[in-house]
Amino acid sequence: MTNNKQAFPEGFLWGGATAANQLEGAYSEGGKGLSVADVMPGGKKRFEILSSPSFDWQIHADKYNYPNHHGIDHYHRFKEDIALFAKMGFKCYRLSIAWARIFPKGDEKEPNEAGLSFYEAVLDECIKHGIEPVVTISHYEMPLHLVTEYGGWKNRQLIDFYEHYAKTILTRFHKKVKYWMTFNEINSSFHFPALSQGLAPTNGANEPQHVFQALHHQFVASSKAVKIAHTLDPELQVGCMIIYATTYAYDANPINQLATLKQNQQFNFYCADVQAQGEYPSFAKQLWAEKGVKLAIEPGDLELLKEHPVDYIGFSYYMSAVINETATEDDSVTGNLLGGVRNPFLKASEWGWQIDPVGLRIALNELYDHYKKPLFIVENGLGAIDQVDGNFYVEDDYRIDYLRGHVEAMRNAISDGVDLIGYTPWGCIDLVSASTGEMAKRYGFIYVDLDDDGQGSGNRYAKKSFYWYQKVIQTNGADLT
Ligand code: BG6
């Protein structure tokens, strides 16, 4: 094991990450249109409801609760939140722009100036505090109209709408924002295409043809965004963003090894291969054949992908996975949109996600060996139930332990030779969870006094991890005690 305390390079981007739909609230203010996130009910049954054949992309306020509608009211309190990030010493802050604030329906010609002004104020606030903004162009919040009228990303017309949106925000903000990402967790669609592709069972979620075709459209759209960004300023850095889950075979049985290889190829590498290397991987044709997919690729698409790959690999890492094709008993576990079987060597979070810092070191090595492009961990963290004391203080040693293990893994991977440029733990301030739409699942360094029903003052309180992370940043990762 390496233990090089000086491993983090100067200028390393320590920060935190959020997404508009999970913290802003104000879902119908400032001219914003509805997004897919606005029709997703809160609670542990969220994915079950979205996967049901009767899911209709409508709000049913009589039946369900919608915590994303109020979020943590960051829309009105962003100055206070960014000041707290600055107090922690953030060098960067990853946020997303809600597409439906800029183009309420998604297919308009003219943007909504109120939406642009809102993000201008947010970005200026970051810059005022010396925090480098890192912007995700689309994070699980495409305009709902693009789903109900156009059928989601399986429709090629979405490329034009996304291009227009990306061009609008890149043109407006390129002097304020250097680091961009085109789609959050683009490979999430292999397990749950409702979030990033706008596909539910009623409009194609269960048909690989639609999911793969939608991905092709997203790849083309992503390359168009890269092209626009580099035309505006060749110094802009545009990344892809994937979920990476280090995946182990359960044992040395070649059947499990092969299944693991296949899982890695499709889940961990397929999307980033196209976005970072500019071409479909060698295994793609076989994968399409196995799934019965006949991809419609238009003239010029492949050239565009090749000419405009991303500059860096952004990824989320929460857990690892284990594949056991030969299991006789069901030992399955849940995870960040993908499952697998239980790993007897690891502990799991209260939501069953298996905690594996060494898996992060492996991930960093695998990704860097594969792409030789800078890596940026843009999500990582522990979702947990926090208990406040009488002063709203949370002693979240479990979160500190989780993060410490992962920062050590980063340090070791840097010593291994990996080019890692930054780290933005997820939900740096408590927000609504994506998979279960809950406030109860908290990731933050900052506690927000709100429950699943939206009850509470909404006030913000620093947790113990706030001060721990402040010291980590101050010492550039040398002091993790
Ligand atoms: C990632 C997403 O999958 O994980 C975030 O990009 C999400 O939007 C995060 O919130 C954690 O997942 P969850 O379901 O615990 O909120």
Furthest-apart CA pair in the chain: how many Å?
64
Residue owning the nearest CA to atom 5 of ligand 1: 434
Domains and CATH numbers, the chain: 13-474 (3.20.20.80)
Burial zone of 48 (CB within 10 Å; 0-12 exposed, 13-18 middle, 19+ buried): exposed
SS3 125: helix
**Å from CA of 235 to ligand 1 middle:** 30
Is there a contact between 385 and 444 (Cβ–Cβ < 8 Å)? no
Cα 325 to chain centroid, rounded:
28
Residue owning the nearest CA to atom 10 of ligand 1: 434
Q: Which atom of ligand 1 is nearest to the CA of 337?
A: 3
Structure token pair of residue 377: 């961990």
Residue owning the nearest CA to atom 16 of ligand 1: 433
pLDDT tens per residue across span 251-281: 999 999 999 999 999 999 999 999 999 999 9
The residue to which tokens 């399986």 are assigned? 154
Query: Can you say whether residue 11 is alpha, beta or left, with left for phi > 0 and alpha for psi between -120 and 50 degrees?
Result: left
Nearest to 465 by CA among 403, 380, 392: 403
- For residue 96, what are the β-bridge partners? 136
Which residues of the chain have a pLDDT value below 50? 1-3
Nearest to 321 by CA among 365, 354, 367: 354
SS3 136: strand
pLDDT tens per residue across span 333-384: 766 666 688 999 999 999 989 999 999 999 999 999 999 999 999 999 999 9
The residue to which tokens 């269960």 are assigned? 206
Structure token pair of residue 197: 């592709």
Catalytic: 350? no
Q: How far apart are the first and last CA of the chain?
A: 18
Other beta carbons within 10 Å of 452:
16
The residue to which tokens 């291994």 are assigned? 416
- List CB contacts of 328: < 8 A, sequence separation 6 or more: none
Report how far residue 160's alpha carbon sits from residue 221's, in angstroms, rounded to the nearest whole number: 8
Question: Rounded to two decimals, what is the model's pTM?
Answer: 0.97
Report how far residue 386's alpha carbon sits from residue 403's, in angstroms, rounded to the nearest whole number: 16
pLDDT tens per residue across span 225-257: 999 999 999 999 999 999 999 999 999 999 999
Q: Which atom of ligand 1 is nearest to the CA of 184?
A: 6
**Å from CA of 47 to ligand 1 middle:** 13
The residue to which tokens 């993908």 are assigned? 338
**Residue 331's pLDDT is what?**
75
**Residue 83's pLDDT is what?**
98
Q: Phi, psi at residue 35, to the nearest 5°?
A: -115, 170
> Catalytic: which of 125, 379, 408, 438?
379
**Residue 328's pLDDT is what?**
79
Is there a contact between 138 and 96 (Cβ–Cβ < 8 Å)? yes
**Å from CA of 434 to ligand 1 middle:** 5
**Residue 336's pLDDT is what?**
62
Catalytic: 379? yes
DSSP string for 190-201: GT-HHHHH---G
Report how far residue 142's alpha carbon sits from residue 101's, in angstroms, rounded to the nearest whole number: 10
Residue owning the nearest CA to atom 12 of ligand 1: 434
Report how far residue 168's alpha carbon sits from residue 235's, in angstroms, rounded to the nearest whole number: 18
Residue owning the nearest CA to atom 15 of ligand 1: 433
**Residue 5's pLDDT is what?**
60
**Residue 4's pLDDT is what?**
55
**Residue 2's pLDDT is what?**
44
Rounded to 10°, the helix 157-173/208-232 angle is 30
Which of 188, 433, 439, 452 maximizes ligand 1 atoms within 8 Å of its Cβ, making it the mutation to test the pocket? Answer: 433
Other beta carbons within 10 Å of 120:
14
**Å from CA of 65 to ligand 1 middle:** 19
User: Which residues have C-beta atoms less than 6 Å from ligand 1?
Assistant: 19, 22, 140, 184-185, 316, 336, 379, 383, 426, 433-436, 441
**Å from CA of 433 to ligand 1 middle:** 6
- What long-range pairs does 324-328 form, CB within 8 A, spacing at least 24? 324/249, 324/250, 324/251, 324/256, 325/255, 325/256, 325/259, 326/250, 326/251, 326/253, 326/255, 326/256, 327/250
Rounded to 10°, the helix 74-88/464-474 angle is 50
**Å from CA of 349 to ligand 1 middle:** 14
**Residue 417's pLDDT is what?**
97
> Catalytic: which of 24, 185, 408, 438?
185
SS3 431: coil
The residue to which tokens 């296949």 are assigned? 262
